[in-house]
Structure formats: C-alpha cells, structure tokens
Structure 1
Amino acid sequence: MLFMVKMDVNIPAEFDAEKATQLKFVEKNRFQELQRSGKWRHIWRVVGQYANVSIFDVESNAELHDLLVTLPLYPFMTVTVAPLCRHPSSIYEDDR
C-alpha cells in the first residue's frame, strides 16, 4: 500500500540545541534505514518549511503507524497521511 505522508516538524525554541542536533542525526539514520528497506520510497523537502512530503510503501495502516512512531522527531511532528492508488493514466508499472 502506498501512502503520501506530510511531516511538519516543530521543535520548540526552548528545546536544548544539542539534544535537537542529536535527534536530527538519529532521525537521518532511521530514515535511511527505512529507505534502504524499501518502506520509505521517496522524500521531498517542502520549500521554506521544516517539513517533508514522503511516499511510503507498506503492508497496512498499522505498519505505517508503527514506522512513523519510531522516528526520533515524531513527538515534534504534525503528520498528515493520505492513501494512494495507481492512476490509470500512469505510464509507470511500479505505481501500485
């Protein structure tokens, strides 16, 4: 199942800067692990925002939820999820 996920990150200004830097480092490692597994297929930065739009390829709603909550920055995120399906006019066969 494909899902479009928008993640808006809002780390409070009073949050310890060193801890924030460490969380971002761990977040990047977790993201790359999920990307290598094929679960996190695409990620795009939203210009001018601390946000991204991503495409996940997972087995279920529950699996997506379970992956998202493992992200170190998850407590600071507002997450919007939309299920996707292949558009009949797409020329790409891997759009499932």
Structure 2
Amino acid sequence: MVQATVAPAAGLRIGELEAQYPMYCKAMRMLVREGASLAKVQRTLCWERLSVLHTSLPRHYRDPAQLFFNLQRELRDQQAPSVNQPQLNAGS
C-alpha cells in the first residue's frame, strides 16, 4: 500500500509540510524580491514542498505557480506609485 502522506524525496509527512508552509511562502517571497525567474524558482526546495502540498490537498493549498505570480504582482504594485495618492511637489 502506498502512503499518500509522505513527500517523495524528503520523507516528510503532510503534517510536517503543513507546519512549514509559512516558511516555504516566505522563501518564495524572498526569491521573488530577488528577481528570480520562474524557471529558477521551480528548481528550489520551497517549490517542491509547495507542489507536494498542492497536489495532496488542492483545496487547501494553491498551485505554487499561482503563488509565484501573485507575489510578483504584489511586489510590482508596491513598487509602482499609487494612482490614488497625491504626488508631493518638492518645489511647493
């Protein structure tokens, strides 16, 4: 009988992966801030662990690609000047 609660290479159980989920998300966020490409991020341990969680519990954990693109958009939105905030003029 195959045990579905074990991650392939690491030998970690799903519960252990779930406990570390915030750390994997933080690692992904750091990679996005550093400007890592999707291809580079897909070769990381955090991607592998997030993929296992998504595959095992898709209703609870998003696809890592979706997380990657959401983090990219969030970073881009933080770096872009807000349209709703008035610009301060240095000469005024």
Q: TM-score, normalised by structure 2?
A: 0.34
- Which is richer in strand? 1
- Which is richer in helix? 2
Larger Rg: 2
Q: TM-score, normalised by structure 1?
A: 0.33
